[in-house]
Amino acid sequence: MRHMLQGRTGRVIALCHSGSYVTHRHRMIGFARHFSRLDAPLVFTHCLAGRDSDELSFQLILGVLRQFDDVVGIYNAGGAHRGVERALREQGQLTKIAYFGHELSPESRHLLESGAMMLAIDQMPELQVRRAIEVLERLIGLRAGPVDRSPISFRIITAENLDG
């Protein structure tokens, strides 16, 4: 996000389910580290807990957008993309604020296609589930031999590289 917003100044904010998910905490810590200098042109100012609720996320994002006119980036570590989209649309910021999210879902696909979301970080959850099932099958004796334990890469998806 910092690279894509090069030359712009303002606030970047983040949204996650809550602090109860370890992965979301790690995502927030990693994101905040890149914007930690208060004298930098881009400053991380808010970490909002939307609980993956479209309505709550809408209210939280809308509140920040109404309070500050210098928001240039939103990172959503969780779900509730429709709520973010609604807040951006209501404030006339739908394609003006760099919006980054996670996972390729019907909602994120729609946002990528419309230009409201710049990119989605897809961790290929279907492959993660398949691997977990293979491990369980091995543990209970339904699968012989070793289970693939190679790292699962993530994909960066933009409107330009959406499949089909």
Q: What is the pLDDT of residue 19?
A: 78
Tokens of 30: 């990693």
Dump pLDDT digits (tens) for 68-107: 999 999 999 998 999 999 999 999 999 999 999 999 999 9
- Which helix (H) or strand (E) segment holds residue 90: the answer is helix 81-90
Terminal-to-terminal C-alpha distance of the chain: 26
Dump pLDDT digits (tens) for 58-69: 999 999 999 999
Least confident segment among 7-11, 35-39, 137-141, 151-155: 35-39
Q: Provide the whole-model pTM.
A: 0.88
**Spatial strand order in the sheet of 10-16:** 42-49, 10-16, 71-76, 98-102, 119-122, 155-157
Tell me the Ramachandran region of residue 91: left when phi exceeds 0, alpha when psi lies from -120 to 50, beta otherwise: alpha
Cα dist from 33 to 21, 79, 97, whole Å: 19, 22, 20
Dump pLDDT digits (tens) for 27-67: 899 899 888 776 789 999 999 999 999 999 999 999 999 99
